[in-house]
Amino acid sequence: MNAIYRVGDSSSAGMSSIQEPLIKQKHSQENYSVLAAIRPFLFPALGAFLFGYEIGATSCSTISIKSPTLSGISWYKLSSVDVGIITSGSLYGALIGSIVAFSIADIIGRRKGLITAAFLYLIGAIVTAVAPVFPVLIIGRVVYGIGVGLTMHAAPMYIAETAPSQIRGRMISLKEFSTVFGMVGGYGIGNLWVTVISGWRYMYATVIPVPIIMAIGMCWLPASPRWLLLRSLQGKGDMESLQEAAIKSLRRLRGSVAVDTAAEQVDEILAELSSVGEDKEATIGELFQGKCLKALTIAGGLVLFQQITGQPSVLYYAPSILQTAGFSAATDATRISILLGLLKLVMTGVAIVVIDKLGRRPLLLGGVSGMVISLFLLGSYYIFYNNVPAVAVAALLLYVGCYQLSFGPISWLMMSEIFPLKLRGRGISIAVLVNFGTNALVTFAFSPMKELLGAGVLFCGFGVICVVSLFFIYFIVPETKGLTLEEIEAKCL
């Protein structure tokens, strides 16, 4: 009988490389078919695509909707507050979605959560596209945003719980790739419709088929086998039926190569879940105790630093930086955004290729170190070197690239991996709430802080926060490369 071992972290954090048994049982290799493993990623990733598309399309739609000649409406005279409400409407919806997910995630499961999100995406897109008056437009934006909140909660969980451990990091990072791809698509589609009368309506209507495909795909996919086994262990249904459903689910998720080993893998998962206490009913209070508190600290800390290290603000300021450098004399802000989106896409692709080879910690430490350098360069540009625009451009490109190697994909990956199964739904919903709440705070605080402190001091301040995040990553964030979700709970918490 082979034992599951505590694998020492050989990183510079100094953890011992001595192996010690954690779970005394056989742990077989996870056999899987590549084609079968892609399917449970593909349809949840469409939800991430829709999130990214909304970001790109909305940045273009606000140009169209304010135009007296192109808006096609009589209420085009929108104040800056109105435009702000349009832009942030989906963000408010995402906050609502995160709160809803806290209550229902572990009851309805990851698959039904994504089906619900697809339905909300569809309703939100339709209402937004046909909105006859401003309040209806905002209702559509908020409904769409609730779908975003449910998706960014359920998609990483479903992918993490269904992907083989050997490629789990790559699969969840591909979700971030889908978000960035959607963003670039939104910018591109927006650029096509921005000069057409009522173009903003077409921007939102163009994406309507995607949530329909997402819903059909999620109805076809099986429920997460780990969620089924959690229900079985906690007595929330017929134990034998749930375990049989988990075996069938695993066979579909792994393909024909796992037909003979699925039952054995389910037995191993059940034994591992029991060994770490997943058979006991979870309480809300447990989120703030012991291993769950540590998981919440890791996930919440990563998504907090993801936002307060300046990501929304730097991208907001990107067009003016490129204009200063002379790149946009004959180019509008939409095309500049497409350029940055393509860079984000390329760097996310790099992260996907190396994340399961190098691990999470090296990419976080290396990427955030690059962000520190870029932020101090940006700050120095506005304080000392404003006659050398190449400094600002280089710093901007370095920042975007390093962010997409580190906080961009890995925060969502770690969030989906780190929580114990019985509290994973509630834990991730809190982390998603922190993400969107902090995003809103940073977005709204940026302009007044820039006026108060100046852009140079503000970017240097973000650089200091990045340095603090490096200490957090170095001392708090564990390495989860190659571990099953049950091993992560046993080793890292």
Q: Rounded to an integer, what distance in angstroms lies between the CA atom of residue 465 and that of residue 474? A: 14
Reading the block at residue 382, the tokens are: 């506005």
Q: Rounded to an integer, what distance in angstroms lies between the CA atom of residue 257 and that of residue 251? A: 8
Q: What angle do CA 392, 396, 398 make, to 5 degrees?
A: 115
In sequence order, the β-bridge partners of residue 4 are 23
Q: Could you write out the DSSP letters of every residue in 283-319? A: -GGGGGSHHHHHHHHHHHHHHHHHHHTSHHHHHHHHH
Inter-residue contact 214 to 46 (CB < 8 Å) = yes
Task: Compute how many other C-beta atoms are within 10 angstroms of the C-beta atom of residue 138.
Answer: 20
Cα separations in angstroms, 165 against 32, 39, 235: 10, 16, 27
The residue written with tokens 């009522």 in the block is 198
pLDDT tens sequence for the chain (493 residues)? 344 333 334 333 333 333 333 334 444 556 667 777 788 889 999 999 999 999 888 878 888 888 888 888 888 888 877 887 888 888 889 999 988 888 787 788 889 999 999 999 999 999 999 999 999 999 999 999 999 999 998 998 899 888 887 888 888 888 888 998 998 898 889 888 888 899 899 999 999 999 999 999 999 999 988 888 888 887 787 788 888 888 888 888 887 777 777 888 888 888 777 766 655 666 777 778 888 899 999 999 999 999 898 787 776 666 666 666 666 543 455 566 677 788 888 998 999 889 988 999 999 999 999 999 999 998 998 888 777 778 888 888 899 999 999 999 999 889 888 988 778 888 888 998 898 888 878 877 776 787 788 888 988 999 999 999 999 999 999 998 888 887 888 777 6
Reading the block at residue 453, the tokens are: 């402190």
End-to-end alpha carbon distance in the chain: 25
pTM of the complete model: 0.81
Classify the C-alpha dihedral 431-416-38-118 as positive or negative: negative
In sequence order, the β-bridge partners of residue 5 are 21
